């Protein structure tokens, strides 16, 4: 489970104010809000990638607020996956275990198990070149789950995928997270995605988080082109635009902090 208590974060002229929410073990939480409302800033704060001004982050009864990213028990899939270009798939998935100096046999067994669950066993010795968007996201998900985190954070993981691939990934992610018993915080702008995956729903408005119940679709919301506009009209205008959610990776891939448990 995860409990966020009165969290305050300041980035430049933008601030998240007194953010509080909780999810029980195995719950799938959906976080929505306008672009620039601070969703990625919140997720990165939970992971320890952005400093907080005050408040607490509690995971399974343990206060992790001041712990380093790798000690929090959180797996993170940033936007676009942020994979290492120089690694084959097997090494991508095993990275979090390798840097923890886990025994080679344990690493191999975990990689094989995850690859089987994610349907990418045949890709383990492939480089990223030539992998489809869906295959890359499966690799990123496997890397985030490798160290068996308590909480999984997903930042718009399917936004660049085509509709058919997204539908496949929805089913896969729901199955894998349920099997793992992991608590999930998932950012999306897609109402359809939220409906298919979420147990509980939150939105960021004016730097504050609010519980949210998805309302019935209007006829205009039935088309993919209008779904984001419908959600945006319900959540209101953010008081200040965050630098939101700047990219956190450069060069060959993510920093180690982005991929550890």
> How much is the pLDDT for 211?
83
Range list of β-strands (E), 121-257:
151-155, 183-187, 200-205, 208-211
- Spell out the residues 6+ positions from residue 260 whose beta carbon is closer than 8 angstroms to its own: 69, 70, 96, 99, 100, 147
Is 261 strand, coil or helix? coil
Cα distance between residue 115 and residue 138, in whole Å? 9
Kindly list the distances between the CA atom of residue 17 and the CA atoms of 36, 38, 43, 188, 210, in Å, as whole numbers in the listed order: 15, 11, 14, 21, 12
> How much is the pLDDT for 237?
31
User: Does the structural domain 2-248 have CATH classification 2.30.180.10?
Assistant: no
Q: In this structure, are strands 28-32 and 183-187 parallel, antiparallel, or unpaired?
A: parallel
> How much is the pLDDT for 256?
39
The structure's pTM equals 0.82
**For the segment 41-62, what is each residue's pLDDT rounded down to a tens digit?**
999 999 999 999 999 999 999 9
> How much is the pLDDT for 258?
47
> How much is the pLDDT for 15?
93
Cα distance between residue 111 and residue 245, in whole Å? 31
Strand partners, 7: 19
Inter-helix orientation angle 163-180/133-145, to 10° = 10
Per-residue pLDDT of the chain (261 residues; tens, 9 = 90+): 999 999 999 999 999 999 999 999 999 999 999 998 999 999 999 999 999 999 999 999 999 999 999 999 999 999 877 899 999 999 999 999 999 999 999 999 999 999 999 999 999 999 999 999 999 999 999 999 999 999 999 999 998 898 899 999 999 999 999 999 999 999 999 999 999 999 999 999 878 888 888 754 433 333 333 333 223 223 233 333 344 444 333 334 444 344 444
DSSP string computed for 79-96: TT----TTS-HHHHHHHH
Report how far Cα 20 is from the mean position of its chain's Cα atoms.
18
Kindly list the distances between the CA atom of residue 126 and the CA atoms of 7, 130, 203, 251, in Å, as whole numbers in the listed order: 42, 9, 39, 20
> How much is the pLDDT for 213?
82
Cα distance between residue 21 and residue 57, in whole Å? 10
Domain spans in the chain, listed from the N-terminal domain onward: 2-248
Strand partners, 4: 21, 57
Residue 224 near residue 19 (C-beta atoms within 8 A)? no
Cα distance between residue 235 and residue 206, in whole Å? 10
> How much is the pLDDT for 80?
78
> How much is the pLDDT for 226?
31
> How much is the pLDDT for 191?
92
| CA nearest neighbour of 197 among 164, 174, 216 | 174
Range list of β-strands (E), 188-230:
200-205, 208-211
């Amino acid at each position: 489970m995860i409990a966020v208590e009165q969290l305050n974060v300041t980035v430049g002229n933008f601030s998240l104010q007194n953010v509080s929410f909780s999810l029980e073990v195995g719950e799938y939480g959906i976080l929505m809000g306008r672009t620039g409302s601070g969703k990625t800033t919140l997720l990165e704060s939970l992971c320890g990638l952005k400093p907080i001004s005050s408040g607490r982050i509690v995971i399974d009864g343990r206060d992790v607020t001041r712990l380093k990213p790798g000690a929090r028990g959180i797996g993170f899939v940033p936007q676009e996956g942020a994979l290492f270009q120089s690694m084959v798939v097997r090494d991508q998935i095993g990275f979090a275990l390798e840097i923890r100096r886990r025994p080679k046999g344990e690493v191999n067994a975990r990689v094989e198990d995850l690859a089987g669950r994610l349907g990418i066993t045949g890709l383990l010795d492939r480089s990223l070149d030539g992998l489809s968007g869906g295959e890359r996201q499966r690799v990123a998900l496997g890397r985030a789950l490798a160290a068996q985190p308590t909480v999984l954070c997903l930042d718009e993981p399917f936004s660049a995928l085509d509709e058919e691939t997204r539908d496949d990934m929805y089913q896969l992610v729901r199955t894998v997270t349920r099997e793992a018993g992991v608590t999930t915080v998932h950012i999306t702008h897609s109402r359809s995605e939220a409906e298919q995956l979420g147990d509980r729903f939150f939105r960021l408005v004016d730097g504050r988080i609010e519980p949210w119940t998805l309302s019935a679709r209007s006829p205009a919301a039935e088309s993919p082109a209008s779904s984001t506009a419908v959600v945006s009209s319900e959540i209101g205008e953010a008081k200040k635009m965050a630098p939101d959610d700047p990219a956190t990776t450069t060069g060959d891939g993510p920093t180690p902090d982005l991929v550890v448990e």
